[in-house]
């Protein structure tokens, strides 16, 4: 009856502890269950390795309990009876233990190697998924986020998740097996002492889980600061040339120092809570050994009736106490790992649940061999409500195979129009539509639209790598002969072959080893290689000298033949031969016609053209 009452009390405490665990682990809401299900789903492709790891963990946990059980047999049966048979049993049992520990060593090797590989494979899958998800995000997503913070989520956060994915199930499984089996075995040895010891274990878990909540909040803050300092470093290093040109090294150091201090403070707070957690648990584990020794000794000293307790039993309790302190320590160490891993996974999950603002319709069709006729109908667009509309009630038709130039003051929506055609940004419902060959672009897949459009932006991006790699970006499967021909068309071939490594020459970060004009021509070479039916050129010759500009202009006119081409131009000399020039002001068309027609009309275009050739450009123009 006494045993039943004590067991019921322990069960009541464990039930409350379970509720506390669920609360602290945040698995009580549907959103948290979704997170947990998402996390578990990454184990499925690697379930064979995962089960192997758990099987080895079960072996290790079980074999760790063999030694104290056999030790009890030694103390009770073998050593007191000094016979040849017992000596033989001692040798046999010792050999069996040696063999089992050899098996344990193999299991530990598998856990250390293949267990970690499970974590790495999960990290690999998560990183691929996140990178693929980032590729679906529109320009607006990147407009609002720092590159360094995105990098932190791709690399740093997922490294912590990998460790948690490996050690989490393994540590919990081993600890559960060892504590459960220890409890069952010790109950048979002496249930009173067992319940007293495990009451302290329950109290220790209660203390750990309470502290864990504070640790979770603290380490979540460290991940935020980690991403912030990554972003600062990335920004400063990317702009190092601007920094040096303004002699602002000390200014950058001061800014970095501010971020670095925030980073240090966040970890100071987290480590303070972690120290309380660690010191408190170590103290309670030492108390646990003391309780086993003191209470067991009292049982022996007073020779309590019906206790069935002797010195070998006390030795067994002390051995088991030392053994199940190990899984408790393992759980406590995992708690810290869990804080960092769960914070990383939450940030991963948060990013993965951001839905792209621009998506293909379920019944979207492929754009195949388009003629290139474009139409803008009643188009109104603004980047956000505060800034208002950049374009308002805009209407324009572009015939297939023609070249149309967009000119006008800064901020009138020229570049915005070019970004709307390939759906880098999207029109909201009721704000007009863009049609290609009479079909709304939202009815096409984005991939097929962009494959049929060649786009050269004013801010040319050159990837770190060779010149060949950068030109091949236009058509990765193209041959070397096609790359060379594209370079010739862009008037960059002679420069490339003059370099020591030719097409294999490395261009540095963002093409730092190239001039502005050279970067622009490599960007044009990509388009020549891609050879699309439609072209968009946003200030494609802005970085070229006059002589090179004439050569590139001839190449552009050649590739633009029989292709629909939209050109945003500031240097009006480059668009003299356009089939039609559209002059924009305040987001609306104010003039349109050929170069000669617009000059004769003596309007806004004529004013801008004359100002350029007089060497003076009014402030309102780009």
For 172-214, how does the pLDDT look when each residue is reduced to its tens digit (9 = 90+)?
A: 877 777 778 777 877 877 778 888 888 887 787 777 777 777 7
**Dist. CA 415–CA 602, nearest whole Å:** 25
Could you confirm whether domain 461-531 is CATH 3.40.50.300? yes
Q: What is the DSSP string of 113-176?
A: IIIHHHHHHHHHHHHHHHHHHHHT--HHHHHTS-HHHHHHHHTHHHHHHHHHHHHHHHHHHHHH
What tokens were used for 609?
């053209």
What tokens were used for 462?
């050159």
φ and ψ at residue 260, rounded to 5 degrees:
-65, -40
Among residues of the chain, what percentage have pLDDT more than 70? 83
Closest CA to 575 of 601, 612, 602: 612
pLDDT for position 13: 44
Q: Per-residue pLDDT tens for 565-614? A: 898 887 777 788 888 988 888 878 888 888 888 888 888 888 877 876 65
Q: Count Cβ atoms below 10 Å from residue 562 Cβ, excluding itself.
A: 11
Q: Per-residue pLDDT tens for 325-342? A: 777 777 767 776 777 787
CB of 555 closer than 8 Å to CB of 525:
no
Question: Which comes out higher in pLDDT, residue 620 or 60?
Answer: 60
CA 65 to centroid of chain Cα atoms: 41
CB of 182 closer than 8 Å to CB of 323:
yes
Range among 30-39, 78-87, 122-131, 141-150 with highest mean pLDDT value: 122-131
**3 state DSSP class of 226:** helix
Q: Please list, in sequence order, all residues whose beta carbon lies within 8 angstroms of the beta carbon of residue 199, skipping any fewer than 6 positions away.
A: 10, 13
Q: What is the mean pLDDT of residues 304-316?
A: 68
**Cα torsion through 394, 400, 401, 402, rounded to 10:** -30
The 10 Å CB-count burial string (b at 16+, else e) for 595-620 is beebbeeeebbeebbeeeeeeeeeee
Q: Please list, in sequence order, all residues whose beta carbon lies within 8 angstroms of the beta carbon of residue 574, skipping any fewer than 6 positions away.
A: 541, 549, 553, 567
Residue 31 has pLDDT above 50, yes or no: no
Is pTM beyond 0.85? Reply is no
Residue 19 has pLDDT above 60, yes or no: no
Closest CA to 540 of 391, 511, 473, 555: 555
Q: What is the mean pLDDT of residues 5-10?
A: 48
Question: Which comes out higher in pLDDT, residue 396 or 196?
Answer: 396
CA 461 to centroid of chain Cα atoms: 22
CB of 431 closer than 8 Å to CB of 387:
no
CB of 60 closer than 8 Å to CB of 104:
yes
What tokens were used for 103?
């098996």
Q: What angle do CA 529, 534, 535 make, to 5 degrees?
A: 70
pLDDT for position 490: 81
**3 state DSSP class of 305:** coil
Q: Per-residue pLDDT tens for 409-443? A: 777 888 888 888 888 888 887 788 999 998 999 99
Q: What is the DSSP string of 68-94?
A: HHHHHHIIIIITTS--HHHHHHHHHHH
To which residue do tokens 């097409």 refer? 503
**Dist. CA 323–CA 179, nearest whole Å:** 9
What tokens were used for 323?
């053994």
Residue 241 has pLDDT above 70, yes or no: no
The sign one gets for the Cα dihedral 574, 576, 579, 584 is positive
Q: What is the mean pLDDT of residues 300-317?
A: 69
**Cα torsion through 497, 503, 505, 510, rounded to 10:** 120
Q: What angle do CA 367, 566, 484 make, to 5 degrees?
A: 80
| Mean pLDDT rounded to a whole number for the chain | 78
Q: Per-residue pLDDT tens for 494-551? A: 888 888 888 888 887 777 777 777 888 888 888 888 888 899 888 766 656 666 667 6
**Dist. CA 387–CA 69, nearest whole Å:** 76
To which residue do tokens 């600062």 refer? 232
In 498-594, which residue ranges form alpha helices assigned H by DSSP? 516-530, 546-559
In 303-435, which residue ranges form alpha helices assigned H by DSSP? 311-352, 414-420
Q: What angle do CA 441, 442, 445 make, to 5 degrees?
A: 85
pLDDT for position 23: 45
CB of 39 closer than 8 Å to CB of 345:
yes
557 CB-contact burial (10 Å; exposed 0-12 / middle 13-18 / buried 19+): middle
Locate the domains of the chain by residue range.
39-352, 377-452+534-622, 461-531
pLDDT for position 440: 92
Residue 467 has pLDDT above 80, yes or no: yes
**619: number of CA atoms within 13 Å, CB side?**
0
**Helix, strand, coil percent content, the chain, rounded in steps of 5:** 65, 10, 25
pLDDT confidence bin for 275, thresholds 50/70/90: confident
Q: What is the mean pLDDT of residues 278-299?
A: 78
**Dist. CA 200–CA 291, nearest whole Å:** 9
What tokens were used for 177?
């097996």
CB of 281 closer than 8 Å to CB of 30:
no
Question: Which comes out higher in pLDDT, residue 268 or 69?
Answer: 268
φ and ψ at residue 590, rounded to 5 degrees:
-110, -20
Eight-class DSSP state of 498: T
Among residues of the chain, what percentage have pLDDT more than 90? 2
Question: Which comes out higher in pLDDT, residue 147 or 364?
Answer: 364
Q: Please list, in sequence order, all residues whose beta carbon lies within 8 angstroms of the beta carbon of residue 480, skipping any fewer than 6 positions away.
A: 468, 503
**Dist. CA 243–CA 252, nearest whole Å:** 8
pLDDT for position 416: 86
Q: Do domains 39-352 and 461-531 have the same CATH topology?
A: no
Closest CA to 169 of 224, 127, 248, 116: 116
CATH assignment of 377-452+534-622, among 3.40.50.300, 3.40.50.1820, 3.40.309.10, 2.130.10.10: 3.40.50.300
Q: What is the mean pLDDT of residues 19-41?
A: 61
Question: Which comes out higher in pLDDT, residue 46 or 276?
Answer: 46
Residue 120 has pLDDT above 50, yes or no: yes
CA 246 to centroid of chain Cα atoms: 34
39-352: CATH superfamily: ABC transporter type 1, transmembrane domain (1.20.1560.10)
Q: Please list, in sequence order, all residues whose beta carbon lies within 8 angstroms of the beta carbon of residue 373, skipping any fewer than 6 positions away.
A: 397, 398, 399, 400, 436, 437, 438, 564
């Amino acid at each position: 009856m006494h045993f039943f009452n004590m067991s019921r009390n322990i069960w009541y405490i464990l039930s409350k502890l379970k509720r506390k665990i669920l609360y602290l682990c945040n698995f009580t809401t549907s959103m948290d269950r979704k997170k947990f299900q998402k996390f578990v789903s990454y184990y499925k492709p690697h379930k064979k390795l995962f089960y192997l790891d758990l099987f080895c963990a079960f072996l290790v946990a079980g074999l760790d309990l063999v030694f104290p059980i056999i030790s009890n047999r030694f103390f009770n049966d073998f050593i007191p009876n000094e016979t040849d048979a017992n000596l033989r049993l001692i040798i046999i049992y010792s050999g069996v233990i040696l063999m089992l520990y050899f098996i344990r060593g193999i299991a530990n090797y598998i856990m250390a190697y293949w267990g970690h590989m499970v974590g790495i494979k999960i990290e690999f899958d998560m990183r691929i998924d996140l990178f693929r998800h980032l590729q679906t995000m529109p320009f607006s997503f990147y407009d609002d986020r720092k590159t360094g913070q995105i990098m932190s989520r791709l690399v740093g956060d997922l490294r912590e998740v990998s460790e948690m994915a490996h050690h989490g199930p393994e540590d919990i499984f081993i600890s559960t097996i060892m504590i459960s089996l220890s409890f069952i075995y010790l109950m048979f040895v002496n249930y009173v002492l067992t319940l007293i010891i495990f009451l302290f274990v329950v109290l220790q878990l209660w203390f750990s889980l309470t502290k864990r909540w504070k640790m979770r909040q603290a380490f979540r803050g460290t991940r935020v600061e980690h991403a912030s300092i990554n972003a600062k470093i990335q920004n400063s290093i990317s702009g190092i040339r601007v920094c040096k040109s303004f002699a602002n090294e000390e200014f950058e150091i001061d800014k970095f120092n501010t971020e670095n201090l925030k980073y240090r403070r966040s970890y100071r707070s987290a480590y303070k809570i972690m120290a309380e957690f660690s010191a408190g648990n170590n103290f309670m584990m030492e108390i646990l050994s003391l309780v086993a020794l003191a209470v067991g000794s009292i049982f022996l000293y007073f020779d309590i009736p019906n206790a069935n307790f002797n010195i070998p039993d006390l030795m067994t309790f002390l051995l088991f106490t030392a053994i199940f302190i190990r899984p408790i320590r393992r759980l406590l160490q995992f708690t810290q790992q869990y804080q960092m891993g769960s914070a990383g996974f939450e940030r991963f999950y948060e990013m993965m649940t951001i839905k792209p603002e621009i998506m293909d319709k379920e019944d979207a069709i492929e754009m195949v061999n388009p003629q290139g006729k474009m139409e803008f109908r009643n188009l109104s667009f603004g980047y956000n409500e505060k800034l208002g509309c950049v374009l308002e009630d805009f209407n324009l038709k572009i015939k297939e195979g023609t070249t149309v130039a967009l000119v006008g003051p800064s901020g009138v929506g020229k570049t915005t129009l070019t970004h709307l055609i390939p759906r880098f940004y999207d029109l909201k419902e009721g704000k007009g539509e863009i049609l290609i060959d009479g079909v709304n672009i939202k009815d096409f897949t984005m991939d097929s639209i962009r494959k049929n459009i060649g786009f050269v932006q004013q801010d040319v991006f050159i990837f770190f790598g060779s010149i060949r790699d950068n030109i091949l970006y236009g058509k990765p499967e193209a041959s070397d002969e096609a790359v060379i021909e594209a370079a010739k068309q862009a008037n960059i071939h002679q420069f490339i072959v003059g370099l020591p490594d030719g097409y294999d020459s490395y261009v540095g970060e963002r093409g730092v080893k190239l001039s502005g004009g050279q970067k622009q021509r490599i960007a044009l070479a990509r388009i020549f290689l891609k050879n699309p039916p439609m072209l968009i050129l946003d200030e494609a010759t802005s970085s070229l000298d006059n002589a090179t500009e004439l050569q590139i202009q001839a190449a552009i006119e050649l590739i633009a033949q029989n292709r629909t081409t939209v050109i945003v131009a500031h240097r009006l000399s480059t668009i003299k031969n356009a089939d039609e020039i559209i002059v924009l002001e305040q987001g609306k068309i104010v003039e349109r016609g050929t170069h000669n027609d617009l000059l004769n009309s003596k309007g806004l275009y004529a004013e801008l053209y004359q100002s350029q050739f007089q060497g003076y450009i009014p402030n309102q123009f780009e």
